């Protein structure tokens, strides 16, 4: 059980590695870290810098009593402590009121932490969260430059000040991109994002945004163009789905600007998310267009990457897009994009690790791959070639609307879908829909009506699982 914090601005020890320097010194789970080397801690960035020192002076609160530890170790060696969060003082919340914000479109009665709107540059650095920079300050800029907190991820949406201010519903949005200039002037790597809302910042406004990027922000590392997601809980009448024609127009606009950027900068700079090609009914670009798949975690090139992994064109997986809200509810403070579920981690029920040994599937046993509506379009050509394998599409009734990505599958929808499926089949579940072994609706794999095998969300893992040889966790009902 995770200890309850005695202070909102101090990290709590949730794990101590056996025989580590911290363990040998006497640090235990539940200790509240008051200071390290005399410094009160703001976030895990500062924490990691301090614990990398060879001599660590640790002041903790243990049940209301102060304890002090002097720990000597090799510089850079792990201290052996895991703390409960990434930000220890207070997450900087967002004061924008964007009509397209997904937080406003969440169902009621979910975990409280999921409703927190952050606009914190530290979470941008640690987890790839996008910040609008409307709450960014001179002190923040100084820290980013001094500590080289790079890369950062910035929501642009529109480069025209008036258009951006209207989209953010915040007058500071008109001028906050000045901080983007300052970051780029100081050689901070920045990735941008434009959420395209039909009738708002598409068409001529998207063209104007592309011109603004060419004129002022051509030093951006990349810009992701992503479609608006609308759940059934949205109350914004102006927010609607893209039509196929609108999606095709966005793809055409971006591809035209890719050629302009390629001619002027020697790189394409802007890229459409995979969803746009699915919405437009168009094939995904060829591999060279993605220029190395650096935008994989922004949902760009994931389909082409999956194909290359499944077909054996690459020996190691590129990685998966982090689960939605990956930073909340005890997200790992170290190795900030660590796997959501390790091979030997229990998830609330009986978890049996099968390792990398081959387990032949009986000829009569079917294999079902659980995935979303978008995911099915990507993986169907590969799964359909495998004997006894099929795809089970999990329609997202929990969020509704046009939400169709695999990372937003929840336990409630999986329960309903699996209840209609036969017992005894092998059910493969991608780990991208889990964060610390829990779906967004608070259910876990152990709550599903059939056992599932949780596998990494990549083509290599799926190919091996279909062949009966993979590193996966089988979750059985208690």
The 10s digit of each residue's pLDDT in 3-16 is 333 345 789 999 99
* Predicted confidence (pLDDT) at residue 364 exceeds the cutoff of 70: no
Give residue 342's pLDDT: 35
**Residues whose CB falls within 8 Å of the CB of residue 214, separated by 6 or more in sequence, listed in order:** 257, 260, 261, 264
**Residues whose CB falls within 8 Å of the CB of residue 245, separated by 6 or more in sequence, listed in order:** none
Give residue 325's pLDDT: 55
The 10s digit of each residue's pLDDT in 409-430 is 999 999 999 999 999 999 999 9
Report percent pLDDT > 90 for the chain. 69
Distance CA 382, CA 160 (A): 43
Q: Which pTM does this prediction carry?
A: 0.85
**Domain residues of the chain, as ranges?**
13-83, 103-300, 350-476
Among 267, 286, 259, 454, which residue's Cα sits nearest to residue 354?
A: 454
C-alpha dihedral, 196 to 403 to 278 to 464, nearest 10°: 130
Q: How confident is the model at residue 285 (pLDDT cuts 50, 70, 90)?
A: very high
Give residue 318's pLDDT: 73
What's the topology of domain 350-476?
A: Rossmann fold (3.40.50)
Task: Give me the DSSP letters along 29-72.
Answer: TT-EEEEETTB---BHHHHHHHHTSSEEEEEEEETTEEEEEEEE
Distance CA 402, CA 279 (A): 10
Give residue 187's pLDDT: 97
Write down the mean pLDDT value for the chain.
Answer: 86
**Selected residue with higher pLDDT from 205 and 106:** 205
The 10s digit of each residue's pLDDT in 55-80 is 999 999 999 999 999 999 999 899 99
In the block, residue with structure tokens 């591999």 = 287
Point out the least confidently predicted range of 18-27, 89-98, 362-371: 362-371
User: Domain 103-300 - what CATH class?
Assistant: alpha beta
Right CATH for 13-83 from 1.10.260.30, 3.40.190.10, 2.30.42.10, 3.30.450.20: 2.30.42.10
Q: How confident is the model at residue 91 (pLDDT cuts 50, 70, 90)?
A: confident
Q: What backbone phi and psi angles, to 5 degrees, belong to 25?
A: -80, -20
Give residue 90's pLDDT: 83
The 10s digit of each residue's pLDDT in 161-184 is 999 999 999 999 999 999 999 999
- From residue 347, how far is each of 17, 82, 128, 254, 329 by CA, in Å? 20, 19, 25, 42, 15
């Amino acid at each position: 059980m995770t200890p309850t914090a005695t202070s909102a601005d101090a990290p709590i020890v949730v794990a101590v590695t056996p025989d580590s320097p911290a363990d040998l010194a006497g640090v235990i789970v539940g200790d509240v870290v008051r200071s390290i080397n005399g410094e009160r801690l703001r976030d895990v960035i500062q924490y990691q810098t301090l614990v990398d020192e060879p001599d660590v002076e640790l002041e903790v609160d243990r049940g209301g009593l102060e304890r002090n530890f002097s720990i000597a170790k090799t510089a850079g060696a792990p201290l052996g402590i895991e703390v409960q969060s990434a930000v220890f003082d207070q997450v900087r919340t967002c004061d924008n009121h964007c009509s397209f914000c997904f937080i406003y479109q969440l169902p009621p009665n979910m975990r409280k932490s999921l409703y927190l709107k952050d606009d914190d540059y530290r979470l941008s650095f640690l987890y790839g969260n996008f910040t609008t920079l409307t709450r960014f300050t001179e002190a923040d800029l100084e820290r980013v430059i001094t500590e080289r907190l790079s890369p950062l991820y910035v929501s642009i949406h529109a480069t025209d000040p008036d258009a951006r201010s209207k989209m953010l519903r915040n007058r500071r949005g008109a001028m906050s991109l000045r901080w983007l200039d300052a970051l780029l002037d100081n050689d901070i790597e920045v990735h941008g994002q434009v959420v395209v809302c039909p009738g708002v910042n598409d068409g001529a406004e998207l063209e104007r945004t592309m011109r603004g990027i060419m004129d002022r922000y051509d030093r951006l590392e990349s810009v992701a163009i992503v479609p608006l997601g609308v759940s059934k809980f949205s109350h914004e009448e102006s927010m609607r789905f893209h039509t196929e024609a609108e999606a095709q127009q966005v793809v055409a606009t971006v591809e035209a600007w890719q050629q302009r950027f390629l001619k002027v900068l020697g790189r394409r700079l802007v890229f459409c998310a995979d969803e746009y090609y699915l919405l437009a009914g168009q094939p995904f670009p060829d591999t060279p267009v993605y220029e190395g798949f650096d935008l994989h975690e922004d949902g760009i090139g994931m389909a082409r990457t999956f194909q290359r992994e499944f077909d054996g064109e690459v020996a190691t997986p590129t990685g998966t897009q982090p689960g939605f809200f990956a930073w909340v509810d005890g997200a790992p403070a170290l190795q900030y994009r660590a796997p959501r579920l390790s091979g030997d981690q229990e998830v609330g029920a009986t978890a049996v690790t099968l390792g990398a040994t081959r387990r032949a599937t009986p000829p009569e046993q079917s294999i079902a791959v659980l995935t979303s509506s978008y995911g099915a379009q990507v993986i169907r050509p590969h799964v359909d070639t495998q004997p006894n394998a099929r795809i089970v599409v999990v329609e997202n009734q929990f969020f509704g609307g046009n939400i169709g990505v695999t990372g937003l599958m929840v336990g409630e929808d999986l329960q309903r879908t699996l209840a209609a499926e036969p017992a005894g089949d092998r059910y493969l579940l991608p780990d991208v829909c889990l964060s610390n072994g829990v779906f967004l609706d608070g259910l876990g794999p152990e709550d599903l009506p059939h056992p599932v095998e949780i596998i990494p969300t990549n083509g290599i893992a799926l190919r091996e699982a279909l062949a009966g040889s993979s590193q996966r966790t089988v979750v059985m009902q208690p």
